[in-house]
């Protein structure tokens, strides 16, 4: 009589599918219920953390691996990471999505996967400092030419893009000047010459803006910011059509894979995204109005404030203006820092998008790698202060900022 085998044999079990929600479901409901998988996770209301690097091979390994239906290694796929990935896919309206270990990891994976030597990139010259540095210093070393365009040029993208332009990179609103660009117009210009349009939607979030619906090819996020929303994780995201996403580090070769615990925290945070963004929108509007009326504030940058034309674009493509704004003080970075140290409810910190309000001086943080001349060319003054308004009571934020400004007189 033979001994019973003690070997573990999971057999072939296809990776579970997510329950499809009706099209009429709103964003808050979708964020709470959009990543359900029936008869999975042992019935747990909150999906568990699959904190594992690898998985048992099924008995019929070659067949199941060819069918792409099993988990093999967490650099390639992990059940915990798939939940928030699916939520972002639904929220941005894409066919597919990928999560990465950071926003810069996502951006680098996209550019490395889609560009080759000899290609041209057209990008705004006012972007997040890390993106600027990547495009300005890194990719030209590999034969990719990058042409930066100013705010005035960017208003007519059809005059900028040619058949040589492989990819265009746009933020709207921009970091740190909150300029709103016409995504639909950029998309039409890109389609005419076969250029891929990438839109960084970090500041707006998919609650306030839908670049894919406006014609963009790919949407990117530093998910560290509003998507995570609690200043406790680092992540990045790309959303778009499957034919493009399948080409972006599909085998995990670049290795910028999101950790399961960070993915668990991101899934937790996404459930309240719509609620948080509603308060961010309100706080941004109230603080922008208060700062614009203060005598020590020379200028307020806020989506749509620059001109009537920009207001028309913002009203057309944004559902809310967000919680980001910047303003300029006379006296340069030194006076701006003095203001930050007088604030009670606004932390002096480099990041953004959290439930707590944050402030920074871009010339000393996100754009410090640019020379003074380069910053001046882009309109990033030394006395520019960037605010990320959290979810505090708007009256408290207005009072805090007003009293801190008054103390500088």
Q: Residues 296-328: pLDDT tens digits? A: 999 999 999 999 999 999 999 999 999 999 999
Phi/psi for 46 (5° steps) reads: -100, 120
d(CA 328, CA 310): 20
Of the pLDDT bands very low, low, confident and very high (cuts 50, 70, 90), residue 92 is very high
CA-CA-CA-CA dihedral for 63, 67, 69, 71, to nearest 10: 70
- Interacting residues of 324 by C-beta distance below 8 A, sequence separation 6+: 173, 175, 178, 203, 284, 352, 386, 387, 388, 389
Between 153 and 12, whose confidence is greater? 153
Question: Phi/psi of residue 39, each to 5°?
Answer: 60, 30
pLDDT band at 264 (very low <50, low <70, confident <90, very high): very high
- Closest to 182 in 3D by CA, of 166, 164, 160: 160
Instruction: Tell whether the torsion through CA atoms of 313, 317, 322 and 326 is positive or negative.
Output: negative
Per-residue pLDDT at 284 exceeds 70: yes
CA distance 115 to 254: 14
CB distance 297 to 329 below 8 Å: yes
- Spatial neighbors of 299 by CB under 8 A, at least 6 apart, are 327, 328
Three-state DSSP at 400 gives: helix
pLDDT band at 373 (very low <50, low <70, confident <90, very high): confident
Q: Of 189-203, 244-258, 371-385, which one has max mean pLDDT?
A: 189-203
What is the predicted pLDDT for the residue at 192?
Answer: 98
Contacts of 348 (CB under 8 A, 6+ apart): 340, 341, 358, 359, 360
Query: How far is the C-alpha of 274 from the C-alpha of 233, rounded, in Å?
Result: 19
Alpha helices in 161-234 (DSSP H): 183-193, 205-208
Q: Map residue 242 onto helix, strand or coil.
A: helix
Separation CA 221–CA 15 (nearest Å): 26
**Average pLDDT, integer, range 129-137:** 94
String of DSSP letters for 78-99: -HHHHHHHHHHHHHHT-SEEEE
* Distance in angstroms between the alpha carbons of the first and the last residue of the chain: 94
Instruction: Choose between 290 and 44: higher pLDDT.
Output: 290
Give the separation between CA 152 and CA 171, rounded to whole angstroms.
15
State phi, psi for 327 to the nearest 5 degrees: -150, 155
Binned at pLDDT 50, 70 and 90, residue 339 comes out as very high
E strand or H helix at 167: strand 165-171
**How high is the mean pLDDT of the chain?**
92
Could you give the count of Cα atoms lying within 13 Å of 177 in the half-sphere of its Cβ? 20
The catalytic site residues sit at 75, 128, 200, 225
The candidate with the shortest Cα–Cα distance to 382, out of 398, 394, 371, is 371
Q: Is the pLDDT of residue 86 over 80?
A: yes
According to DSSP, the residues that pair with 54 across neighbouring strands are 73
CA atoms within 13 A on the CB side of 308: 0
Segment 30-50 shows an average pLDDT of 87
pLDDT (0 to 100) of residue 172: 98
Instruction: Return the pLDDT at 365.
Output: 78
| Rounded distance between C-alpha atoms, residue 280 and residue 286, angstroms | 10
More confident residue, 337 or 397: 397
> C-alpha 6: how far from its chain's center?
48
The dihedral built from the CA positions of residue 66, 85, 128 and 178, taken in this order, carries a sign that is: positive
**Window from 67-71, 141-145, 205-209 with minimum mean pLDDT:** 67-71
Residue 198: pLDDT band (50, 70, 90) is: very high
The C-alpha angle 107, 131, 311, rounded to 5 degrees, equals: 105
Q: Which residues of 364-399 are buried (b: 16+ CB within 10 A; e: fewer)?
A: eebbeebeeeebeebbbbbbbbbbbbbbbebeebbe
pLDDT of 275: 98
Tell me the CB-side half-sphere exposure of residue 200, using CA atoms within 13 A: 31
Domains observed in the chain? 27-270 (3.40.640.10), 273-406 (3.90.1150.10)
Q: How confident is the model at residue 60 (pLDDT cuts 50, 70, 90)?
A: low
Which two three-digit tokens encode residue 256?
């910028």
Residue 67 phi, psi (nearest 5): -85, -5
More confident residue, 149 or 362: 149
282 pLDDT higher than 90? yes
């Amino acid at each position: 009589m033979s001994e019973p085998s003690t070997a573990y044999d999971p057999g072939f079990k296809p990776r579970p599918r997510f329950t499809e929600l009706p099209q009429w479901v709103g964003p808050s409901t979708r964020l709470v219920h959009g990543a359900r998988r029936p008869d999975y996770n042992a019935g747990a209301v909150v999906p568990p953390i699959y904190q594992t690097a690898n998985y048992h091979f099924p008995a019929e390994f070659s067949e199941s691996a060819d069918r792409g239906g099993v988990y093999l290694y967490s650099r390639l796929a992990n059940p915990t990471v798939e939940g928030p990935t699916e939520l972002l896919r639904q929220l941005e309206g894409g066919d597919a999505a990928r999560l990465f270990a950071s926003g810069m990891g996502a951006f680098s994976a996209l550019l490395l996967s889609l560009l080759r030597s000899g290609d041209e990139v057209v990008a705004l010259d006012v972007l997040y400092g890390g993106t600027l540095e990547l495009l300005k210093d890194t990719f030209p070393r590999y034969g990719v030419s990058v042409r930066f365009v100013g705010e005035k040029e960017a208003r007519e993208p059809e005059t900028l893009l040619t058949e040589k332009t492989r990819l265009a990179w746009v933020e709207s609103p921009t970091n740190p000047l909150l300029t709103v660009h016409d995504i639909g117009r950029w998309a039409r210009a890109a389609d005419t010459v076969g250029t891929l349009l990438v839109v960084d939607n970090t500041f707006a979030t998919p609650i306030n803006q839908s670049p894919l619906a406006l014609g963009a090819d790919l949407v990117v996020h530093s998910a560290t910011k509003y998507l995570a929303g609690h200043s406790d994780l680092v992540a990045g995201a790309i959303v778009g059509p499957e034919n493009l996403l399948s080409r972006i580090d599909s085998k995990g070769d670049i290795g910028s894979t999101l950790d399961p615990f960070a993915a668990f925290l991101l899934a937790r945070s996404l459930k309240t995204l719509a609620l948080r963004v509603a308060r961010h929108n309100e706080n941004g509007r109230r603080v922008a109005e208060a700062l614009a009326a203060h005598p020590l504030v020379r200028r307020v940058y806020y989506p749509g404030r620059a001109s009537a034309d920009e207001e028309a674009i913002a009203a057309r493509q944004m559902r809310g203006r967000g919680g980001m704004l910047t303003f300029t003080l006379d006296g340069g970075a030194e006076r701006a820092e003095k203001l930050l140290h007088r604030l009670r409810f606004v932390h002096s910190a480099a990041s953004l998008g959290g439930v707590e309000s944050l402030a920074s001086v871009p010339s000393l943080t996100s754009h410090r790698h640019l020379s003074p001349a380069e910053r001046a060319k882009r309109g990033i003054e030394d006395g520019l202060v960037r605010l990320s308004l959290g979810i505090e009571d708007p009256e408290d934020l207005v009072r805090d900022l007003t009293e801190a400004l008054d103390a500088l007189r």
